[in-house]
């Protein structure tokens, strides 16, 4: 091979079956093949516009043509102007936490998160090879962000030249809004489309935002076609995001979906032990069990309780007893009561949403404007608390069969009614944000 440009010409010739010579000439005549190092081929476009077109339209076919010519998988990187080719660039991490706690070693694995953890480790060790994108979903406080950071920290160590970006879905949207207002959308696009690893936390925040989805759609395509790793987290799977465009749902499902469930008792005990050990003090077994039994749905609360017990013991001189532990648990719950909702909290939230007084929901009235809020409240109490059917019945002054009917009715309707599904999601979010 005389030069990298000769290789480029041969690859373009192979693409003429899919593109006309005029089209290829328009986009590649002033392009330059900068380097071929290992399996990385760097192409310099004449300007930012041509760079984006080549990335979005020609990355996959050009990579295929180069792969066929060289006999091994080739990754294409496109730069323009004075940009440094990826093979020579200095890596950087944007938004990635330096906290050494966010590692796989500090992530407690149990039956509820084993699959998601294994998938994250695989991606960290083999970026863009096995699962791309990786989509991790589950309730708040279960470790999704921890896994994102862990992936980023591993890849930062093993691929020092990688450009790694971590961003929350809400911040991605806000950045785009600012870029539009300032007339600098090109810089916004360049920032994210040059990433080797893109980590987006709480991607559900882009749902319903048309312009944000449009930008992310093209960013996703550019990165995916360039063989760059994408990892996303959400509080729900793509199919349950009713205001997310179908084309986005499809792309999120291209790779691997992995869910995280609330930790079981044994895992909660392990989390508490690990946190206490990290903080350098011992907790009595009965205290550990008390915490694990009373805080069931949120890892952050478990760790926060351990921290607070340590502070009260060391700074306040309090003995570590069951009584003290229970007081701390109640204090932690009061900080974010929505994470451990009670029937009255749920009833009030439903009441506020439907504009129906609580006493009316609990009454014997059977009008449509009362029945649905009542059934919804029963359903949410069943879903968000540990109350049994008979216990829920006592709250509402009904027997357990009435509660069962209400739950079945809501559960059946939500599968057929996208609007009702959105209402449920909104109510749960309102409760959790109390």
CB atoms within 10 A of CB 74: 22
CB atoms within 10 A of CB 76: 24
Distance in angstroms (rounded) separating the CA atoms of residues 120 and 139:
17
Q: C-alpha distances in angstroms, 151 versus 95, 143, 144, 202, 267?
A: 13, 12, 11, 16, 21
Give the closest residue to 393 by CA, choosing from 327, 329, 343, 326: 343
Instruction: Write down the CATH number for the domain with range 265-337.
Output: 1.10.8.60
> Residue 42 pairs with which residues in a beta bridge?
35, 77
Instruction: Give rounded-to-5 percent helix, strand, coil for the chain.
Output: 60, 10, 30
Determine the topology of domain 92-259 in CATH.
Rossmann fold (3.40.50)
Does the CA dihedral 119-123-126-132 come out positive or negative? positive
Question: Would you say 375 and 411 are in contact if contact means Cβ atoms under 8 Å apart?
Answer: no
Question: Would you say 233 and 134 are in contact if contact means Cβ atoms under 8 Å apart?
Answer: no
Determine the topology of domain 343-432 in CATH.
Chromosomal Replication Initiator Protein Dnaa; Chain: A; (1.10.1750)
Which alpha helices (DSSP H) does 29-113 contain, by range?
Answer: 48-53, 59-70
Tokens at 24, concatenated:
């290829």
Give the closest residue to 304 by CA, choosing from 284, 275, 344: 275
Distance in angstroms (rounded) separating the CA atoms of residues 431 and 433:
5
Distance in angstroms (rounded) separating the CA atoms of residues 280 and 99:
18
Per-residue pLDDT of the chain (434 residues; tens, 9 = 90+): 446 888 899 899 999 888 888 889 889 988 888 888 777 888 988 888 888 889 888 988 898 888 888 877 788 888 886 665 544 455 677 877 666 678 898 898 988 899 999 999 999 999 988 899 999 998 777 889 999 999 999 998 898 888 899 998 888 888 888 888 888 787 788 788 878 899 999 898 888 788 888 889 988 988 888 889 999 999 888 887 777 888 889 999 999 999 998 888 998 999 898 888 888 888 999 999 999 998 877 888 888 899 889 888 888 888 899 999 999 888 887 766 556 688 998 999 999 888 889 999 999 988 888 999 999 999 999 888 778 888 899 999 999 889 989 988 898 888 788 888 888 888 887 787 66
Which alpha helices (DSSP H) does 168-315 contain, by range?
Answer: 169-181, 185-193, 210-225, 246-252, 265-279, 285-294, 299-314
The b/e string for 44-53 (b: 16+ C-beta within 10 A; e otherwise) is bbbeeebbbe
Beta-sheet pairing, 134-137 with 229-234:
parallel
> Residue 163 pairs with which residues in a beta bridge?
92
Question: Would you say 5 and 32 are in contact if contact means Cβ atoms under 8 Å apart?
Answer: yes
Spell out the domain ranges in the chain. 4-80, 92-259, 265-337, 343-432
Determine the topology of domain 4-80 in CATH.
GMP Synthetase; Chain A, domain 3 (3.30.300)
């Amino acid at each position: 091979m005389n030069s990298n440009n000769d290789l480029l010409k041969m690859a373009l010739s192979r693409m003429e079956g899919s593109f006309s010579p005029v089209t290829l000439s328009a986009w590649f005549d002033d392009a330059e093949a900068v380097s071929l190092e290992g399996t990385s081929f760097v192409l310099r476009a004449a300007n930012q516009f041509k760079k984006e077109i080549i990335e979005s339209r020609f990355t996959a076919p050009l990579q295929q043509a180069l792969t066929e010519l060289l006999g091994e998988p080739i990754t294409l990187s496109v730069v323009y102007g004075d940009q440094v080719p990826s093979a020579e660039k200095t890596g950087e991490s944007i938004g990635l936490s330096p906290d050494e706690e966010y590692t796989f070693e500090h992530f407690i694995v149990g039956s509820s998160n084993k699959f998601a953890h294994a998938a994250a480790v695989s991606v960290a060790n083999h970026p863009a090879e096995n699962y791309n994108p990786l989509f991790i979903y589950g309730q708040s406080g279960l470790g999704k962000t921890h896994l994102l950071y862990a992936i980023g920290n591993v890849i930062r160590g093993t691929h020092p030249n990688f450009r790694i970006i971590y961003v929350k879905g809400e911040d991605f949207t806000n950045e785009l809004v600012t870029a539009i207002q300032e007339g600098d959308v090109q810089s916004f696009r360049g920032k994210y489309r040059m990433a080797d690893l893109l980590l987006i936390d709480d991607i559900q925040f882009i749902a319903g935002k048309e312009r944000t989805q449009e930008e992310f759609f093209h960013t996703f395509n550019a990165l995916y076609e360039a063989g760059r790793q994408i990892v996303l987290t959400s509080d729900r799977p793509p199919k349950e995001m009713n205001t997310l465009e179908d084309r986005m749902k499809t792309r999120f499902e291209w790779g691997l979906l992995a869910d995280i469930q609330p930790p079981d008792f044994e895992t909660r005990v392990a989390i508490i032990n690990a946190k206490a050990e990290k903080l350098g003090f011992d907790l009595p077994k009965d205290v550990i069990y008390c915490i694990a039994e009373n805080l069931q749905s949120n890892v952050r609360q478990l760790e926060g309780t351990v921290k607070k017990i340590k502070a009260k013991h060391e700074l306040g001189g309090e003995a570590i007893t069951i009584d003290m532990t229970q007081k701390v648990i109640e204090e932690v719950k009061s900080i974010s009561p929505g994470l451990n909702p009670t029937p009255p909290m749920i009833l009030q939230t439903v009441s506020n949403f439907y504009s129906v007084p609580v006493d009316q929901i609990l009454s014997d009235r059977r009008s449509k404007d009362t029945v649905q809020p009542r059934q919804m409240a029963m359903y949410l109490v069943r879903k968000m608390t540990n109350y049994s059917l008979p216990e829920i019945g006592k709250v509402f002054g009904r027997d357990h069969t009435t509660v069962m009917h209400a739950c079945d009715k809501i559960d059946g309707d939500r599968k057929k009614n996208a609007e009702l599904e959105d209402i449920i999601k909104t109510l749960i979010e309102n409760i959790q944000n109390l």
